[in-house]
């Protein structure tokens, strides 16, 4: 099924739009929406500073393990249509952020252990 856009703190990434029938329409750019009162500070923080011609989008997230905030440059094509894992800059945990290709299947083994 279709998944909602990933959320990072109070910020939601949107890399495309969907019709009611599930058809995807690629956006010409990545748009950020926020419920934060500091929209200008967020836009400044997410301004792309990469030298890479492919990594022209930035995303920020808060690690669920250590609480550290990490900002990384990413390829907008991978964000819209690919799979992205990002490593926390503080504790080195890898976070599964986007899987548009459905390559990753996650299991909750805690549920199986309870049976």
Q: Tokens 């950020």 map to which residue?
A: 32
- What was the pLDDT predicted at 50? 63
- Strand pairing report for 94-99 and 69-74: unpaired
Question: Is the whole-model pTM more than 0.75?
Answer: no
Q: Give the pLDDT confidence of 45-84 residue by residue, as tens digits.
A: 666 566 777 777 888 889 999 999 888 888 888 888 999 9
- Phi and psi at residue 25, to the nearest 5°: -125, 115
Percentage, residues of the chain above pLDDT 90: 15
- The HSE-up count of residue 10 (CA atoms within 13 Å, CB side) is 7
**d(Cα 98, Cα 52) in Å, to the nearest integer?**
20
Per-domain boundaries in the chain:
7-114
Q: Give the pLDDT confidence of 5-55 residue by residue, as tens digits.
A: 444 443 344 444 344 454 444 444 444 454 555 666 666 666 656 677 777
């Amino acid at each position: 099924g279709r998944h909602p856009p990933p959320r990072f703190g109070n910020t939601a990434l949107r890399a495309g739009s969907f019709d009611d029938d599930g058809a995807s329409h690629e956006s010409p750019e990545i748009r950020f929406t926020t419920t934060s009162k500091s929209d200008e500070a967020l836009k400044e923080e997410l301004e792309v500073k990469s030298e890479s011609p492919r990594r022209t989008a930035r995303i920020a997230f808060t690690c669920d393990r250590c609480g550290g905030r990490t900002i990384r440059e990413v390829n907008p094509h991978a964000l819209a249509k690919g799979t992205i894992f990002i490593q926390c800059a503080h504790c080195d945990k890898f976070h599964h952020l986007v899987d548009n290709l459905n390559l990753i299947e996650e299991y909750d083994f805690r549920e199986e252990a309870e049976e």
